[in-house]
Amino acid sequence: MSLPSNPVLKFFTSLKLTVVLLVLSIVLVFCATLNQVQLGVWGVQAKWFRSFFVWHDFNGVLFPVFPGGFLLGVMLLINLITSHVFRFKLSWKKLGITITHAGLILLLIGEFVTAIYQEEFQMRMDEGETKNYSESPRFVELAVTDITGPEWDQVVAIPAAHLKSPAAIQRPELPFTLKPLAYYPNTVLQMKTQAPTAPESGADRDIGARLAVTPVPLTYKDNERNLPSVLVELNGAGGSLGKWLLSPWLMDSQRFDYEGRTYELSLRFKREYKPFTLQLLDFTHDRYPGTEIPKNFSSKLRLINPQTGEDRQVLVYMNNPLRYQGLTFYQQGFDNNDTTTILQVVRNPGWLIPYISCLMLTLGLFIQFGISLYGFTQRRSAKLAAVKV
Amino acid sequence: MKRILPLIILVLGAVYFGSSLRPHHPGGDFHLSEFGELPVLVGGRIKPLDTVARTSLLQMQESQTVRTAGRTLEPIEWFTLLVFDPAKADALQTFKVVNTEVQSLMQINPEEGGAQKRFSFDQLRAHIPDLEKQVQLAGPVEAKQRTAFQSAAMQLYGNLTTYQQLKYSLQDPESPDFLADIREFETSIDKGVAAVRAQVEGKPHDKAAADAVLSLARRFQFIGDFGKLLVIPPPPGAPDSLAWKKVGESLLGSFENDGVDPAVLAWAGLGHSWRNGQAVEFNEIVKLYRAQLSRGYGEALTKTDIETRFNAAAPFYTSMALYVGAFILAICSWLRWPVALGRSAAYLLTLAAITTTLGIAARMWLEGRPPVTNLYSSAVFIGWAAVLLCLALEFFYRNAIASAAAGLIGFCTLLIAHHLSLSGDTLEMMRAVLDSNFWLATHVIVVTIGYSATFVAGALAILYVVLGVFTKVLTQPVAKTLTGMVYGIVCFATLFSLVGTILGGIWADQSWGRFWGWDPKENGALMIVLWNAIILHCRWGGLVKQRGLMNLAIFGNVITGWSWFGTNLLGVGLHSYGFTENGAKVLGAFMVANLVLIGLTFIPREKWVSSTTAESGD
């Protein structure tokens, strides 16, 4: 082992730094686990793991209170790589450690890739229903659909992030601008007649004029969704076209005509369209006899891809997802008395990395501890032999 | 003497184990053990009545046997009373009520419950309506938010419900002679049905016959609704061999089918002969019913027979006693006759490990699953793997230290398992999410061995501290040996917990689409990996020496305890399965105890009792 003399290198290659980082990681994981009770798994990931610092709100002022998962991960990576470059000498005796650490580096990189590139969607389908898109479980978008042409619709989708600032949104495809007047991240909508005391929505077009909007706190529970609402004003060249209230609460899009064309407005969970369709043929949910313990859920699907000419049946069930075109469809849940399936749709380009790193880590540790154990037994038997003599 | 002592102890242990295997014959002239082997379907699987009796008693009163003034009743004896002669069972004290507020709600005098605070149904029955009201109030409160009184009230109510449901499982407890009722029903069914049909069509009919059959139908509906066990198998060759029915359901079905199912008659006949003290008839019916079942349910019968034998042999309780013996022998070996007593301890330990292995193997065969399927089996398996690791250490070092650690861990894990078994059937069915024998056999096993190894390192470190601070046993060479042992086990723990955790990630990727979901249980496993990695790096970097290593290893107990049970307390995530308030207290005490042990090492070395004998390296 050669020790670097440069103080910066000395710091980054030191074993003490490794230990400190590992201890900080344990504390991070522990605190994040506890925090999961309040924040839910997504909140915890954003706050503790997929961040450089963990920020805490002290009376409205945010302070970094702990290094986040990204920072610790990067530091560990630097520590590992510099140690191997500057401190460790390659030797057969250290082969196991080298392989283990290489596996670890790969695992960390894999987690970064996942953190950045993994996308998760959901597909809810009633029995018989066909869909060619999946929806984000958490992010919404404002969709303006031009349905004038009988052949096809033109959709302009505006992500929720743009709706949070009051700046008017102008798009070349649209002859009007959209000005978000108010955005509520989670709401309850009621008819005014049912909730006379609730604040008015402010909308003057379509159903929104008859609705009351009550903002509610964000939920972090795994089985609940935040349902936002937005109040938008549309402005054409000749002035205001009116104010609409949009929300995923509203099942139907709101339709209007302008300059001879017909448009539909909706705030919906962000969609990702696919070049193929899936139809839910049948959903089954078996329970163990005489109990409510789920034995198995499965969705029988029909996959049709006009581009490749595929038309086949697939069965998705627990521990047996459908992998297709870089997407994986998992059986996540069900609804409506076992007639609706909820599939989780995941795209993770880094999915293979953990498999490789797992192999490397296992191999590395086996070699390392195997060498030690062999040496130990050799010494031991020599010792015992000596005692007997 | 010293030479043959280990052999003598081994033989004694083997005799003790062998005695647990001998067949039991409770019930005198009545062949109750054969009765207990009869299969029923409950909780999603076919199991013997004996298991139903045992798990019900464990849930109700935390013990498998019922103490009466005269003698102790075996579980199946109590069960037979409950289903065939409920008035007698109602007088037996089988409900444990510890909570004083619940005691006063039920207006029972705690002293009447004896030391164990067990009360009879007769003592409780007057105030069940009051309990019902409290349960309705507590029902909407989330389980975790309930007060001790609310939880205790819910628990007692659940137990009373189970108790009543069991009564309605084999026959109608209200009827003085259910067999006669059924015979009567069989002969009058055609006439009665015809009368009802005529009544519906407005034709002249025998009103008495119609009323009688309608009242019976209502009665059957009631026992069908209220009974708990599915005891009537579908006929052999039926499309769904698990479509078992309750007695009431089957009787209702006999309006459409051709007559009463023979199984209903068999159960009713058993009840009749039991009440009338006709042992010969009782045994004959058991035999005939078994013969009938063997056509189509032969395999199920074999399983229920073995399960009943397994229940009676209770190998894990036998192992517990053997572990205690091994622990005591190991400790004695440090005071006198190190070789003879040390070897005796190792022999006894080996016997205990074999006993546990047989128990685990029997459970695996019964369930058709890898060894770890729930919290209960994880406790048994963690102990078993830890003991095997210790036996390997003992083989190399022969200083009885690993034997002592094995005795300690083996006993504690089986004690934990016993307490976990109080919540119901330990061979419960797997939820769909976890139903994958491949991953149960790989990820779960490997990660559980990681837990075992971390506990072994922790136990060895505890012995280091206790022996060092309070005794003269920890001489310098012993301390050095222990250090080597702990280091080796930590390496082993790192390997298994790391590989196990990553395999878990791969399972998650295969099953629900993410390699790592930051689920509390996953995080717990990750913490164990990180902690073992910290120990190794501290050691390699020279940041810790002997005492530091021991402290880190002891803290490994705290982290593993958290990962194993603490994460289940949070009640979030995919892995959150049952764990109780009492469990939380025990876990807290365990963690504090480990921290105290760590605190002990900060006593200056020269004040340790061991340092007065010889110089010890640190």
Give tens-digit pLDDT for B328-361: 999 999 888 888 899 999 999 999 999 999 999 9
To probe the interface with B, which of A26, A31, A283, A372 has the most B CB atoms within 10 Å? A26
Question: Cβ of B337: how many Cβ atoms within 10 Å?
Answer: 15
Mean pLDDT per 10-residue segment, chain A (389 residues): 72 90 95 85 84 87 90 93 84 86 91 84 90 88 88 86 87 89 88 80 83 84 81 88 89 86 90 90 85 82 91 88 88 83 87 88 89 82 70
To probe the interface with A, which of B374, B502, B522, B536 has the most A CB atoms within 10 Å? B502
Contact (Cβ atoms closer than 8 angstroms) between residue A178 and residue A168: yes
Which token pair is B16?
């003790």
Using CA of residue B137, residue B138, residue B142, residue B148, what is the dihedral sign?
A: positive
A6 burial (CB, 10 Å; 0-12 / 13-18 / 19+) is: exposed
Q: Give the separation between CA B330 and CA B400, rounded to whole angstroms.
A: 5
Q: pLDDT of B357-377, one tens digit each?
A: 999 999 999 988 889 888 899
CA A72 to chain CA centroid, nearest Å: 21
Q: Where are the alpha helices (DSSP H) in chain A?
A: 7-13, 15-44, 69-82, 95-117, 160-163, 353-388
B 20-49 → A contacts, CB under 8 A: 41-45
Residues from chain B that touch A346, judged by Cβ atoms under 8 A, are 513-514
Average pLDDT over residues B511-515: 75
To probe the interface with A, which of B394, B398, B534, B551 has the most A CB atoms within 10 Å? B534
B 538-577 → A contacts, CB under 8 A: 538, 540-541, 543, 559, 562, 567, 570-573
Q: Where are the alpha helices (DSSP H) in B75-127?
A: 75-84, 86-90, 100-105, 121-124
CB contact under 8 A, B498 and A328: no
Question: What pLDDT score was predicted for residue B571?
Answer: 59
Position B119 pLDDT exceeds 80: yes
Q: Give the separation between CA B364 and CA A311, rounded to whole angstroms.
A: 42
Between A293, A354, A380, which is nearest B429 by CB?
Answer: A293
Question: What pLDDT score was predicted for residue B616?
Answer: 43
Q: Which residue, chain included where needed, has tokens 């037994």? A: A377
Q: What is the pTM assigned to this prediction?
A: 0.86
Interface contact B530, partner A, CB < 8 A: yes
To probe the interface with A, which of B41, B516, B536 has the most A CB atoms within 10 Å? B516
CB contact under 8 A, A290 and B41: yes
Question: What pLDDT score was predicted for residue A88?
Answer: 78
Band of residue B439 on the pLDDT scale cut at 50, 70, 90 = confident
Question: What pLDDT score was predicted for residue B615?
Answer: 47
B413 burial (CB, 10 Å; 0-12 / 13-18 / 19+) is: buried
Q: Give the separation between CA B310 and CA B522, rounded to whole angstroms.
A: 34
Average pLDDT over residues B305-330: 93
Average pLDDT over residues B570-597: 73
Residues from chain B that touch A291, judged by Cβ atoms under 8 A, are 43-44, 429
Higher pLDDT, B140 or B436: B140
Average pLDDT over residues B155-160: 92
Which token pair is B325?
């013996």
Question: Cβ of A38: how many Cβ atoms within 10 Å?
Answer: 10
B 386-415 → A contacts, CB under 8 A: 396
Contact (Cβ atoms closer than 8 angstroms) between residue B368 and residue B409: no
Interface contact B509, partner A, CB < 8 A: yes
CB contact under 8 A, B495 and A344: no
Question: What pLDDT score was predicted for residue A4?
Answer: 65
CB contact under 8 A, B429 and A111: no
CB contact under 8 A, B432 and A45: no
What is the Rg, in whole angstroms, of the alpha carbon atoms belonging to chain A? 28
- The CA distance from A37 to the nearest CA of chain B, in Å, is 7
Question: What pLDDT score was predicted for residue B581?
Answer: 65
Find, among B11, B9, B18, B24, the residue nearest to B355 by Cα. B18
CB contact under 8 A, A16 and B543: yes
Average pLDDT over residues B575-584: 58
Position B228 pLDDT exceeds 60: yes
Question: What pLDDT score was predicted for residue B114?
Answer: 84
Q: What is the largest CA-CA distance in chain A?
A: 108
Band of residue B590 on the pLDDT scale cut at 50, 70, 90 = very high
Find, among B462, B501, B496, B497, the residue nearest to B482 by Cα. B462
Contact (Cβ atoms closer than 8 angstroms) between residue A369 and residue A385: no
CB contact under 8 A, B514 and A318: no
Question: What pLDDT score was predicted for residue B124?
Answer: 93
